[in-house]
Structure 1
Amino acid sequence: MTVEAQYRARYETVLFPIADKLANLLQDIFAGQPRIDRISTRPKSVERFMGKAAAEKDGKAKYEDPLHQIQDQIGARIITFYKDDVHRISEEVQRYFHAIESKDMLPENEWEFGYFGNHHILMLQQDLIDPSFDKNLVPYCFELQIKTLFQHAWSEANHDLGYKPGQQPLASDELRQLAFTSAQAWGADRVFNDLFVKRSAQH
C-alpha cells in the first residue's frame, strides 16, 4: 500500500474524530480564560501531507518514514489577543500535555521579518483515542500553535499567497512586501500589548 493510500485511510477513519475530541478538550481546559479569540483543530489534508512527505533536504528525501515522522497530522491552534497572553497559554498547555518539543518560531535574525508563532509538539492523550481504532493508523502526537490575532492573520495570508502548489515563486520585491507586512503586524502586536499592560496597571 502506498504512503498516500495509508494516509488517506488514516485521514478518513481516525484523524477527524481525534481532532474533534481534542477541540472539545482544549475548549474545556480554557473555558473562562480571558482574551482567547478562538480554538480550532483540523487533520492535515491528504494533499498537504503528500506535499510535505515529498520534501527534500540536501538532495535527499527529508522524511524516510513520513507516516511516523510528520508530526502535524493533527493540528490545533489557539488564537489570543495580546503577546503576553501567549506565554500564559503556553504554560497552561504544558500542564495538561506532555511536550515533546516547545519553541518560539522566529525569523533567523533581528534584521528579518517573517513568520512568528509559539509551537508545541504534544503527545496525544489516550482518552482522545477510541479503543476501536486500528492503532497503526493513530499518530502519537499533534502540533499546537499559539498565536496572536496579528500573527495568525499574517501567516494565513502569507501561506495563501506563497505556498500554493503550481504557483510561480514570489519575486524578491514581493518577498520584501510580505516582510514589510510582517513588520507591521509585529509593531501592531507591540502597541496593543503595551497599551493593554498600561491599562491593566491602572486598575
Structure 2
Amino acid sequence: MKFKDSLSKKIERKNKYSCLRDITDIVGFRVITLYADTVDEVAKIIESEFKIDEQNSIDKRKALEPNRFGYLSLHYVASLSDNRCHLPENHLISDFSFEIQIRSILQHAWAEIEHELGYKSKNSPPQPIQRRFYRLAGLLEVTDEEFKQIRNDIEEYKIQVEDSINQNNLNKVIIDLESIKEFIQREPLIKQISQAISNKINVRIYENQGVESDIIERLFFSGFSTLEEIKRDLEQYRDKIIEFAVLWIRGSNRNNFGFITCEVAFIYLCYIKLALIGNAPDIIERLKFFPLNIGTEEQFKQLAARILKTYEEINLSNL
C-alpha cells in the first residue's frame, strides 16, 4: 500500500492522473513462491479470480533481453471480478485497480537487495558494478532452476523407492531421509512394532509425516546401509525391540510425554544392535557418533551401561 507522501510524489512526478482510479498500484500484494515454476501455477489462480488489465500487466521474465540477466517477476494489474463487484462490501472499491506481484523467493531476494542499493534501472550502477550485478543475477537464475530440478529429482526418487518397497526389492535402496520416510509409510512391520510399544506403555502413536535426520545417523552408525538390512533385523529382533523399548521408556518416564512416533522402532533397534556388541568400551566408541545430548565420558559410560543392563533384563525375562 502506498503511503500519502509516496502517493503525492508519484502524482507530481507522473503528472498524468486525473483521479485516484487512474493509479493502478495504490494497493498491491506480493506472492512469494519457493520455486520459479510455481509462479505460473499462482498466476492461473489469480487470472481465474480477478480481472486482469493485460495492457498494464507485464511478465518481466519474458520482457528481459536475452543477452542480459536481472530481476524476473510477473506483475499483474488487476481489479475485482464481476461477481466480487456485486458484493455489498466491495461496492466502494469496485472501480479501483491494484497490483499483484508473483515471484520466487530468490527473485524476491534479488529485488529487495537491488532496491536497498537504490539501483532500479539497469543503467543506474557504475559500469564496473553493472557487470557484477549481471553475474550475480545469472547465478540466482541458475540457482532457481537448480532448486526446481532438485525438487523434481527428489519426487522421481521417491517414486523409485516406493516401487522398490512395493516389490520388496530393498537390497539396493540406500538409507536416507526420503527412503526412510517411504519405508515408514509402506512397511507394516514398523507400525506393528510401534503399536505394540504404544499399547504396553499406554500412549498414543503420533502419525507424523517427517523423519528426524538423527534417525539416519543412528541407523548408519549402528551398521545399516540399506532398507533390506533394516527390515531383516526388525523381523529378527521384533520382540526384543518391543521389550527393550518398554523397559527403557518406563525407566526414563518418557510415557509422561503422552505419545511416541513410528521412529521408535528404529531407535530401539539401534540400541539392540549396540547391546549385541557386548562390551561397554566398544559401545561407547559407537555412541560418540550418535546425535545425543550428552558429551562427557561419564555420560557415555552411563548410557552404555544402561543399554547393556536393559538388554540383559529382557534376556533374563525370556528364560
Q: TM-score, normalization: structure 1? A: 0.62
Name 2:207's counterpart in structure 1. none
Name 1:70's counterpart in structure 2. 23
Aligned partners of 1:99 and 1:123 also within 8 Å: yes
- Distance in 2 of aligned mates of 1:128 and 1:154: 40
Name 1:84's counterpart in structure 2. 37
Q: Per the alignment, in what secondary structure is the counterpart of residue 83 of structure 1? A: coil
Equivalence map 1:86-165=2 (5 Å): 86-101=39-54, 102-106=57-61, 108-124=64-80, 125-126=84-85, 127=87, 129=89, 140-162=96-118
Aligned partners of 2:79 and 2:95 also within 8 Å: no
Q: Cα 1:82–1:110, aligned 2, differ >3 Å: closer, same or farther?
A: same
Q: Cα 1:175–1:77, aligned 2, differ >3 Å: closer, same or farther?
A: same
- Distance in 1 of aligned mates of 2:130 and 2:95: 35
Q: Cα 1:55–1:177, aligned 2, differ >3 Å: closer, same or farther?
A: farther
Aligned partners of 1:103 and 1:119 also within 8 Å: yes
Name 1:21's counterpart in structure 2. none
Name 1:182's counterpart in structure 2. 137
- Residue 180 of structure 1 and its aligned partner are, at CA, apart by 2.2
- Distance in 2 of aligned mates of 1:54 and 1:198: 52
Which consecutive unaligned segments of at least 5 residues does structure 1 have? 1-42
Structure with bigger strand share is 1
Q: Per the alignment, in what secondary structure is the counterpart of residue 181 of structure 1? A: helix
Aligned partners of 1:73 and 1:139 also within 8 Å: no
- Residue 48 of structure 1 and its aligned partner are, at CA, apart by 3.0
- Distance in 2 of aligned mates of 1:67 and 1:196: 44
Q: 2:1 aligned with 1:46, yes or no?
A: no
Aligned partners of 2:34 and 2:105 also within 8 Å: yes
Q: Cα 1:108–1:141, aligned 2, differ >3 Å: closer, same or farther?
A: same
Structure 1 counterpart of 2:67, one-letter code: W
- Residue 128 of structure 1 and its aligned partner are, at CA, apart by 8.8
- Residue 130 of structure 1 and its aligned partner are, at CA, apart by 5.7
- Residue 66 of structure 1 and its aligned partner are, at CA, apart by 6.5
Structure with bigger helix share is 2
Structure 2 counterpart of 1:176, one-letter code: R
- Distance in 2 of aligned mates of 1:69 and 1:51: 15
Q: Cα 1:81–1:74, aligned 2, differ >3 Å: closer, same or farther?
A: same
- Residue 139 of structure 1 and its aligned partner are, at CA, apart by 5.9
- Distance in 2 of aligned mates of 1:77 and 1:141: 15
- Residue 64 of structure 1 and its aligned partner are, at CA, apart by 4.2
- Residue 177 of structure 1 and its aligned partner are, at CA, apart by 2.3
Larger radius of gyration: 2
Q: Cα 1:142–1:184, aligned 2, differ >3 Å: closer, same or farther?
A: same
Q: TM-score, normalization: structure 2? A: 0.41
Aligned partners of 2:17 and 2:23 also within 8 Å: no
Q: Per the alignment, in what secondary structure is the counterpart of residue 98 of structure 1? A: strand
